[in-house]
Structures are given as structure tokens and as C-alpha cells.
């Protein structure tokens, strides 16, 4: 009843309006400041946390795929095992272990991720044990070594790599969600800010109507502060959102596409060598080689994931490595056909030599190495593009949170002084 009686008088209405403007100004400042701080933290977290975890999950899959291909190549090597291939295999296993430990650091927050990490952790020692058993039997001249190697590869492909792929998908989905959050519109802040601006304009129109005063300095200052907040917030969030989206399109998504291509190439290389290990009984590996090669390079080396990546990388630093990768894929396809011709005609030893000879620039080993190096360069370029764009997006929010808080306080003080000036006229 007291409020109704107070609102029935002009001073009472002005007091209520002033209190409402102050509360709305401070509420807008609080909500907006927290929203800008959260947005800045989310953007920083993309570079410092989310993308490195997704990259670690990628590295688990890539390293294990390369280990599979390298183990098969080492097994095929005539005579003593190649020290270079042995070192590469051990390096791959070490990288996979380190990347798995990093990916597992945040797996507890997602049940699905923890389950995949557990599968990889349990099965990886079994895989390496089978590979060692295959090596031991091969050194002693026992043909059963090839069976152990195929069993190891089957374990890797049926259980470990699917778990690694699922882990990557989980981390990549969480990266995409964080990017969406960082580039989204803070609707609550927008509504409050526009509502505050409308309330200030309405109050000035009301005072002009009831007091015949054209200007109110306090309310003009408050309106100006809100206008600056609207303009600053709009520009900063627009620039930040564009840069985050650009970092996703040209950076993380392009890197993911290239990692898929590289993993398919590694699996195709493992299939190529395992076909030779099987000595005439590796038709399933040859079929999978055709499938994996077609996936990343198309039937002739000019299509697949590489073609998509080239189309998206036009006029960027990754265009050169991707063009070179396509050329290497075409050369590899031709070399593979020569290997199959030799093996199918009974020249197994020559086929093995053709598959493993790194000194032959037109051979499969040299072409695959060029392809893998080119894809690694392009992935590094894409990841750097992500870091550069997302870091620039974070800089666009510099001082926005404290600035928003200061401007909201200025708006509250301006509204208080403006209404107080009118109230004095009734005394």
C-alpha cells in the first residue's frame, strides 16, 4: 500500500524509476561481466586445453597406425632387421603412450572417454607382446612369426584403433562444442543491455513530457555509457566470433580432415606390407588397401580426402604440401601396381624389395614417405592456423569484462544523479 501511495505522487514515481534503473544497470553489469569473463576463459581454453587434448587423441591413433605399418615393414626386411624401422616402431609406441597419458588426463569427466582409454591401456601391452613374439620367431627362422604378426595387427585394428578413433571423436566433439560456446551470442547479456538502453530512453522521454526539461545530464551520461557498452560489446564479440569460426574452419576442421587422410594412408601402407607377409594369402589386406587408398586419395590419387583438403586450402600455406602429397599418392599407386604384378607372377622377393627400397624415388616406400611428410607439414600448418586465429580472438576480448563493469557502474551513477536532480525540484 505504501508503494502504491508513493507511486501515485511524482516524487514517488521518480524514486521508483531511479531505483529500477540502478538495479537494472548493476544487474546488467554483473551478468555481462561474468559472461565476458566466461567467454574469454572459454576462448583461452580452446588453445590451452581442448585442442591439445584432441591433438593428443589424434596422435594416439596416428602413432599406433604407423607402428602397425612399420612393424610389418620391419618383418619383411630381408636379412637382419632394419635398425631404422625398429627405432621408428619403438618411437611410435612411446609417442602413443605419452599421447594416451595426456588424453587420459581429462577422460574422467566423460565416461565414454575413460572407457576408450581403458581399452587401449589394457590391449596395447598385448599388441606389443605379439609383435615381439613375431620378431623372435622370425629371427629364429620359424614361419609362425608371420601368424603372430597378423594376430597383432588384427588386435590393433579390431580393438585398439577403434577405441583410439572413438576417443578422438569424443575429444573432437568437445572441442567443437567449446568453439560453438565461444562463438555464440550471449543472449541474456544482450537482452539486459538493450533493455537498459530502452529504459533509459523511456525515462528521458517521460521526464521531458512531465517536466518540460529537454536534457538531463545524468541520464545522458548513463545512456552514453550504455551506448559505449553496446558498441564495444558488439564489435568485440563479432570480431571474436569470426576469428573463432575461422580457426575452426581453416584450423581444427582442416587438421582433422588431414589426420584422417594420414591415418588412412598409414593403414594402406600396413595393408600393402601385410599382403606380402601373407605370401599369397593376403587378399583381405589387398582389398582393404584399395578401400583405404581410395578413401584418402581416390582410385587414382587425385580424389578422396586429399582432394577435399586441397579445395579448402586454396591460397593458404598448406596448399603446397597438399599438392605435393597428391603427387606422391599418384606415384605410390603406380608403385603398388608394380608390386602386385611382381608378387602375383611369383617374384615375391622382388616384390618385397620394390615395397621396401627407400632408395628408389619411384618406389612405394619413398612415395609413402613423401606423402606422410607432406601430410605432417599440412597438419602442422592447420594447427598453427587454429592457434593464431583463436589467440587473436582472445585478444579481441581484452579489457571487455572490466570495461563492461565500469560502464555499468557509470550508468548506475548517471541514473542516480539524473533522477536526484529532478527530485530536488520537489523540495
Residue 365: inside a domain: yes
Residue 167: inside a domain: yes
Give Cβ neighbours of residue 105 (< 8 Å, ≥ 6 apart). 53
What pLDDT does residue 346 have? 85
Residue 59: inside a domain: yes
- The conformation of residue 282, written as its DSSP 8-state character, comes to -
Residue 145: inside a domain: yes
Q: Cell 626386411: give the residue.
A: 77
Residue 266's nearest CA partner among 358, 339, 369 is 369
Q: Give the SS3 label for residue 343.
A: helix
Identify whether the C-beta of residue 270 lies closer than 8 Å to the C-beta of residue 68.
Answer: yes
The three three-digit cell numbers of residue 274, written as one number: 601385410
What pLDDT does residue 7 have? 52
CB hemisphere CA count around 189 (13 angstroms): 24
Identify whether the C-beta of residue 360 lies closer than 8 Å to the C-beta of residue 6.
Answer: no
The three three-digit cell numbers of residue 252, written as one number: 581444427
Start-to-end CA distance of the chain, whole Å, equals 23
CB hemisphere CA count around 81 (13 angstroms): 21
Each residue's pLDDT tens digit in the chain (427 positions)? 665 665 556 666 787 888 899 999 999 999 999 999 999 999 999 999 888 988 898 899 889 988 988 888 888 776 666 788 889 899 999 999 999 998 888 766 666 888 999 999 999 999 999 999 988 888 887 878 888 988 998 999 899 999 998 998 898 888 989 999 998 889 999 999 999 999 999 988 888 887 766 678 889 999 999 999 999 999 999 999 999 999 998 888 898 899 899 889 988 988 888 888 887 777 888 889 999 999 998 887 788 999 899 888 887 888 889 999 999 999 999 999 999 998 888 888 888 888 888 888 888 889 999 999 999 999 999 999 999 999 999 999 999 999 999 999 999 999 998 888 776 766 5
Residue 47: inside a domain: yes
Note if the pTM is more than 0.95. no
The three three-digit cell numbers of residue 237, written as one number: 564479440
Identify whether the C-beta of residue 161 lies closer than 8 Å to the C-beta of residue 65.
Answer: yes
Q: CA angle 231-235-236, nearest 5°?
A: 115
Question: Domain range holding 61?
Answer: 10-426
What pLDDT does residue 231 have? 94
Residue 5: inside a domain: no
The three three-digit cell numbers of residue 269, written as one number: 601402407
Identify whether the C-beta of residue 20 lies closer than 8 Å to the C-beta of residue 416.
Answer: no
Identify whether the C-beta of residue 69 lies closer than 8 Å to the C-beta of residue 266.
Answer: yes
- The conformation of residue 81, written as its DSSP 8-state character, comes to P
Residue 236: inside a domain: yes
Residue 233: inside a domain: yes
What pLDDT does residue 1 have? 61
The count of domains in the chain is 1
String of b and e for 148-172 (b: at least 16 CB within 10 Å)? bbbbbbebbbebbbebbbbbbbbbb
Amino acid at each position: 500500500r505504501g508503494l502504491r501511495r508513493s507511486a501515485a505522487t511524482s516524487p514517488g514515481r521518480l524514486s521508483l524509476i531511479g531505483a529500477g534503473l540502478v538495479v537494472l544497470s548493476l544487474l546488467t553489469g554483473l551478468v555481462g561481466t561474468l559472461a565476458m569473463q566466461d567467454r574469454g576463459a572459454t576462448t583461452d581454453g580452446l588453445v590451452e586445453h581442448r585442442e591439445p587434448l584432441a591433438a593428443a587423441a589424434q596422435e594416439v591413433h596416428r602413432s599406433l597406425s604407423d607402428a602397425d605399418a612399420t612393424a610389418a615393414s620391419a618383418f619383411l626386411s630381408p636379412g637382419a632387421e632394419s635398425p631404422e624401422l625398429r627405432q621408428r616402431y619403438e618411437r611410435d609406441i612411446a609417442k602413443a603412450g605419452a599421447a594416451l597419458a595426456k588424453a587420459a588426463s581429462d577422460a574422467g569427466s566423460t565416461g565414454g572417454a575413460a572407457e576408450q582409454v581403458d581399452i587401449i591401456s589394457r590391449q596395447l601391452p598385448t599388441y606389443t607382446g605379439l609383435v615381439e613374439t613375431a620378431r623372435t620367431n622370425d629371427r629364429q627362422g620359424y614361419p609362425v612369426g608371420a601368424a603372430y604378426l597378423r594376430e597383432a595387427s588384427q588386435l590393433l585394428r579390431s580393438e585398439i584403433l577403434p577405441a583410439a578413433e572413438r576417443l578422438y571423436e569424443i575429444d573432437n566433439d568437445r572441442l567443437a562444442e567449446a568453439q560453438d560456446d565461444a562463438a555464440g551470442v550471449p543472449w541474456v547479456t544482450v537482452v539486459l543491455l538493450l533493455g537498459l538502453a530502452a529504459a533509459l530512453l523511456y525515462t528521458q522521454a517521460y521526464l521531458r513530457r512531465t517536466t518540460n526539461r529537454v536534457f538531463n545530464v545524468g541520464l545522458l551520461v548513463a545512456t552514453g555509457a550504455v551506448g559505449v557498452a553496446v558498441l564495444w560489446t558488439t564489435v568485440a564479440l563479432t570480431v571474436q566470433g569470426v576469428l573463432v569460426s575461422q580457426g575452426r574452419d581453416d584450423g581444427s576442421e582442416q587438421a582433422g580432415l588431414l589426420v584422417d587422410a594420414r591415418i588412412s594412408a598409414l593403414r594402406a601402407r600396413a595393408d600393402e606390407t601385410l599382403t606380402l607377409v601373407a605370401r599369397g594369402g593376403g587378399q583381405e589386406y589387398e582389398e582393404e588397401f584399395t578401400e583405404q587408398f581410395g578413401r584418402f586419395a581416390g582410385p587414382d590419387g587425385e580424389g578422396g580426402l586429399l582432394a577435399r583438403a586441397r579445395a579448402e586450402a586454396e591460397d593458404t600455406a598448406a596448399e603446397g604440401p597438399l599438392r605435393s602429397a597428391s603427387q606422391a599418392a599418384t606415384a605410390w599407386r603406380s608403385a603398388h601396381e608394380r608390386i602386385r604384378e611382381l608378387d602375383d607372377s611369383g617374384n615375391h622377393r622382388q616384390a618385397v624389395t620394390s615395397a621396401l627400397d627407400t632408395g628408389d624415388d619411384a618406389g612405394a616406400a619413398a612415395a609413402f614417405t613423401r606423402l606422410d611428410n607432406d601430410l605432417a607439414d599440412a597438419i602442422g600448418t592447420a594447427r598453427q592456423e587454429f592457434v593464431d586465429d583463436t589467440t587473436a580472438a582472445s585478444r579481441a576480448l581484452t579489457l571487455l569484462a572490466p570495461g563492461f563493469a565500469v560502464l555499468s557502474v557509470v550508468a548506475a551513477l548517471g541514473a542516480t544523479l539524473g533522477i536526484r536532480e529532478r527530485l530536488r525540484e520537489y523540495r
